[in-house]
Amino acid sequence: MSSSAQPGFTAPLASSQPFTVVMKRAWFRRRSRLRSQRSPLMPLPLGRGGFTIIELLVYLSIVAVAMTIFSVFTVDVIKNASRSRTVIAVEQNAQFIMNRLATDIQNAQSINSVTSSSISLTNSLGVAVIYSWDSVNKKVTYQAADVSTIQVRVTSLSFQQVSTAPPTISIGLTVAQGNVLASAAGQYSTSLATTVVSRRGIY
């Protein structure tokens, strides 16, 4: 009897590994090749960690929009706070200057002289004093001392003697923000006017 293989007969696998194990390994190798060929724009399978490029771009876009909105809001808050400080400084200076002028004129023993930008009077203590407007430096002075602060500019101050018996003085005052280079949003000014009668001239 011949030992050669009979026609049509297939010899069993020489490997000792079962056929299912060989197929599983081939399947895993094929899966690895498919993963390596996956486009970076393709979404990752569910359950797998990390981000795709599309997800990352969406996230960055959301962050950019949020930062833009926050920046605009912050700038508006800063501008509004700055304008509020300017308005307060202008209004306070204007009221202080006008009240001081009116009080000293009302209580003056006499009105010595009045010009369009200055007034000379003898105050309640019997001391002769002068209030004047410095048109160059835009400020009000009292005996050469500043009455207004550096936060503001006194753009105009006028005096007019309406009557001598009793002494009656008309005052006009305009105060603006100190920064001459301020933007349109940062500009602010206020104007006040009053008429004051000296009490000593009445009694």
The backbone region for 2, taken as left when phi is positive above 0, alpha when psi lies in -120 to 50, beta otherwise, is beta
Task: Provide the domain limits for residue 165.
Answer: 68-201
Q: Which long-range contacts (CB under 8 A, 24 or more apart) does 121-130 make?
A: 129/104
What value does the mean pLDDT of the chain take? 82
In a domain, 63, yes or no: no
In a domain, 195, yes or no: yes
In a domain, 88, yes or no: yes
Predicted pLDDT at 36? 58
Predicted pLDDT at 114? 96
In a domain, 47, yes or no: no
Predicted pLDDT at 108? 94
Pairing of strands 145-146, 167-177: unpaired
In a domain, 160, yes or no: yes
**Under a CB-based contact definition with an 8 Å cutoff, are residues 108 and 119 in contact?**
no
Instruction: Please state, in angstroms and rounded to a whole number, the distance separating the CA atoms of residues 63 and 171.
Output: 57
Looking at the DSSP bridge assignments, the partners of residue 24 are none
Which ranges of 37-132 does DSSP label H, i.e. alpha helix? 53-106
Domain count, the chain: 1
Give me the count of residues in the chain: 203
In a domain, 51, yes or no: no
Helix (H, G, I), strand (E, B) or coil at 168: strand
In a domain, 57, yes or no: no
Instruction: Please state, in angstroms and rounded to a whole number, the distance separating the CA atoms of residues 59 and 201.
Output: 79
In a domain, 144, yes or no: yes
Q: Which has the closest alpha carbon to 186: 81, 83, 78, 84?
A: 83
CA distances from 86 to 74, 81, 91 (A): 19, 9, 9
Predicted pLDDT at 123? 92
Predicted pLDDT at 201? 58
Predicted pLDDT at 116? 95
Predicted pLDDT at 2? 45
Q: Which has the closest alpha carbon to 174: 196, 200, 152?
A: 152
Give the residue ranges of the chain where pLDDT is below 50. Answer: 1-16, 41, 44, 46-47
